[in-house]
Structure 1
Amino acid sequence: MIRALTLLFALQLAGEALANTLALPVPGPVLGMAGLLAIFALRGGPTEAQEATARGFLENLGLLFVPAGVGVTLHLGAVADEWPAILAAVVLGTLVAMVATAFAFRWLARLTHSEEEQ
């Protein structure tokens, strides 16, 4: 578990360093996750220790939302002032994500020839 956590944190640190050094508009953790994906692609997937570590994070995922909830509570006045923009961003973001997911699914279905002929 220590090795799996070390890998996760090292990749996050590398992503942050890369994003800051090159002034990229992408968050460092996203670059770290891309590095993790590349490692998994080269190795043929995660090890058992990495799977167990990820499972532990997922089982406690709710705890990761506590800081965001506290932040919203602390800035409730700003949220109340900007609620139309926040609502619009959430609704539009959800719609864009749904459409992008549908197109990605159709593209992957065609790519893998898994669509049924009708």
Structure 2
Amino acid sequence: MILARYCAIILGFLALGELIVFLTGIKFPSSLIGMFLLTFALHKKWIKLEWVKGISDFLLGNLGLFFIPVCVAIMLYFDLLWDNIIPIMVSIVISSALVILVTGKVYQFIRKKLK
């Protein structure tokens, strides 16, 4: 019964994210909005960490199961992916380089501020 309560909290924030996207019409993943709201509620101590720790540990422990649909989709659309391999690889390389560059610059900026 306790696990159901923990799950209800997580699903409630997911539903709240869905509601916000539906009402506002913004083009942003509702699951991320829900998780931002959950993080905010945890930070403000409106929700205790113990209330969601049980279900989050369970979900993280079984994280591999959530990748099965993605892997199946990749196999189903392999021809489409192969036809577009060059643009995909270019975007992966460029985005990875940008992430490394921005992360390094942010780290340097924060490091200077702390000194």
Tell me the TM-score range normalised by the shorter chain: 0.7 to 0.9
User: Which residue number in structure 2 is paired with residue 16 of structure 1?
Assistant: 18
Structure 1-normalised TM-score? 0.81
Q: CA deviation at 1:37?
A: 1.0
SS at match of 1:24: coil
Structure 2-normalised TM-score? 0.82
Matches of 1:106 and 1:3, distance apart in 2: 43
Q: CA deviation at 1:94?
A: 2.0
Q: CA deviation at 1:20?
A: 2.5
Identical counterparts, % of pairs:
19
Gaps of 5+ in 2: none
Q: CA 1:106/1:87 → structure 2, altered by over 3 Å: closer, same or farther?
A: same
1:1-118, aligned counterparts within 5 Å?
1-43=3-45, 46-109=48-111, 113=114, 115=115
Matches of 1:103 and 1:37, distance apart in 2: 26
C-alpha offsets along residues 3-33 of structure 1, whole Å, 9 cap, x if unaligned?
2211111111111221122121211011001
C-alpha offsets along residues 44-86 of structure 1, whole Å, 9 cap, x if unaligned?
8742241221111111111111101100100111011111111
Bigger relative contact order (CA 8 A; separation at least 6): 2
RMSD, matched Cα:
2.2
Gaps of 5+ in 1: none
